[in-house]
Structure 1
Amino acid sequence: MDRRKLQLTVDARSGPRPLAITIDRLIVAGWVGRDKAALQHHIQELGKLGVPAPSRTPTYMNLSPIVLTTKEVMDVVGDESSGEVECVLIKDGESVYVGVGSDHTDRAFEQYGIPASKQMCAKPIASVMWDLADVRDHLDQIVLRSWMTTGGRRRLYQEGRLAANIDVMDILAAIPPGDGPAAARICLFCGTFPAIDGIECGERFEFAMEDPVLQRTIGHEYSVRCLPQYL
């Protein structure tokens, strides 16, 4: 089984502490919106790219944890890929940590196979996470944002509160049983928001999670490097 070792930091109310963890399972959830009209909008948004509509919502895709990364450069094999900001949960036994990541996806291949298009790209996450206990009572107020840079032009790409989606703890609890070890250390991507002006691609992606109650922000950014091909 592929696993990924991560060196993270937990920014807790009691003070920062290191978190060295080996992820056994990576799961990416999709179609998690509470607003059915907005959910349908996102389905149609991807449908324009040839991506088939899901047979159930939310969806759960098991990927290899090897694609998880905290690096600032991502290599891709095609020039049609883009990120999506998502709340990320890491579950280690009874401990749960809340962070933010990008479900970077190969858009050209997505119409042929959604899980494969996601496995093709690295999954960047911020190296700092929060303790669930510190944010559980105000998870819905947490804001996610992303910025895309295309041709040197940086713009706000996504923005939304977690209240717009199914509660992330409900998403975690509803992971289909029987498809992995119960004691596995899990990294769960909890779904995204529609892009403000539609899905686009670019050379740089930034994402952040803001806690307006405790007045703190975590985030990450990375550049996308398309590898040359000689076919």
Structure 2
Amino acid sequence: MSRTLDLTAQSRDGATAPLSLDLAAVMNMGSATRDPAVAKLHQDEVALHGVAIATNVPAPRLYPMAVDGLSTGTRVEVHTGETSGEVEIVLIFADQLYVGVGSDHTDRLLEKASIPYSKQACANVIAPTVWPFAEIADTWDQCILRSWVDGRLYQEVGVDAFLRPEDIAAMLADRAPGFAQKDTVAFCGTIVSVDKRLGFGSRWEFEIEDPVGGRSIRHAYDVVDMFQMIRPEYRVPVLTGTIGPDSLKT
């Protein structure tokens, strides 16, 4: 199955061109940091919320996602108040390698039972503007990732905390030979929040800044709890006892 993903490629000189992918696959990654100790900080953060990382699987851990779950939109629909975004480097494999920024929005309630399902339960949001990686490769490590929730700074980190795009591409070719590096997208993992605790809110913003080029890509979306349209006494349980009685509340 595939679907069309329409983006805009922006060069360092400001020139733009349409970029359309016949999207064939989407991959999310976890713990894709150069220093494993940096990844552990996020692992500890989600552990406080009852989430267990499969540390027996070598990092970076790979989570294949359905292509229909990728969005450039400004609205993410969810089923609980326990969801949150994660700013991530996004690689776009097309006629060449492009880099962008996205938010791996995750259902933290469901994540206690299944990390892949929790990611698939919410849209993965990608900013519609991307940059050719070749133009920025030499100064890539100076770029910065940030995210905000309801106007509050939530994450801030240099991209040099993560594996470089070309190293991720090589790793994917080795570990996921079924993931073709054409018309595909990869989210490259996230970092611990500034206060080291998961945050929840109704509006998420995220960006990647290129300080050398004096530019940035920024995007935002609103989170909508779909159960709010239903009177409380008519809302069905989100989960059915897998995690515990408190988890059944919507």
- Which TM-score band (shorter chain)? over 0.9
1:65 aligns with 2:62: no
Partner of 2:210: 211
Structure with greater strand percent: 1
Kindly indicate whether the alpha-carbon contact (under 8 Å) linking 2:71 and 2:123 is maintained by their aligned counterparts in 1: yes
Moved over 4 A (4+): 176-179
1:1-231 to 2 correspondences below 5 Å: 1=1, 3-13=2-12, 15-53=15-53, 54-55=55-56, 56-93=58-95, 95-149=96-150, 154-175=151-172, 176-177=174-175, 179-180=177-178, 182=180, 184-197=182-195, 198-228=197-227, 230-231=235-236
Mapped to 2, the partners of 1:36 and 1:20 lie a distance apart of: 35
Mapped to 2, the partners of 1:51 and 1:171 lie a distance apart of: 25
TM-score by length of 2: 0.85
RMSD: 1.5
| Structure 1 SS opposite 2:139 | helix
Mapped to 1, the partners of 2:161 and 2:177 lie a distance apart of: 28
Structure with greater helix percent: 2
Following TM superposition, by how much is the alpha carbon of 1:44 offset from its aligned partner in structure 2, in angstroms?
1.2
Which amino acid is 1:60 matched to?
Answer: L
Percent identity reads 39
Kindly indicate whether the alpha-carbon contact (under 8 Å) linking 1:26 and 1:187 is maintained by their aligned counterparts in 2: yes
Q: Which stretches in structure 1 are left out of the alignment for 5+ residues? A: none
Mapped to 1, the partners of 2:22 and 2:81 lie a distance apart of: 31
Mapped to 1, the partners of 2:188 and 2:179 lie a distance apart of: 20
Mapped to 2, the partners of 1:101 and 1:183 lie a distance apart of: 19
Mapped to 2, the partners of 1:143 and 1:135 lie a distance apart of: 13
Kindly indicate whether the alpha-carbon contact (under 8 Å) linking 2:12 and 2:213 is maintained by their aligned counterparts in 1: no
| CA gap 1:112/1:217 in 2 versus in 1, 3 angstroms | same
Kindly indicate whether the alpha-carbon contact (under 8 Å) linking 1:9 and 1:18 is maintained by their aligned counterparts in 2: yes
Which amino acid is 1:79 matched to?
Answer: G
Following TM superposition, by how much is the alpha carbon of 1:114 offset from its aligned partner in structure 2, in angstroms?
0.4
Following TM superposition, by how much is the alpha carbon of 1:13 offset from its aligned partner in structure 2, in angstroms?
3.3
Mapped to 2, the partners of 1:24 and 1:192 lie a distance apart of: 23
Which amino acid is 1:109 matched to?
Answer: L
Mapped to 2, the partners of 1:132 and 1:168 lie a distance apart of: 8
Following TM superposition, by how much is the alpha carbon of 1:19 offset from its aligned partner in structure 2, in angstroms?
0.8
For these two proteins, the number of residue pairs brought into alignment is 225
Mapped to 2, the partners of 1:39 and 1:75 lie a distance apart of: 28
Which amino acid is 1:204 matched to?
Answer: R
| Structure 1 SS opposite 2:109 | helix
TM-score by length of 1: 0.92
Mapped to 1, the partners of 2:145 and 2:24 lie a distance apart of: 26
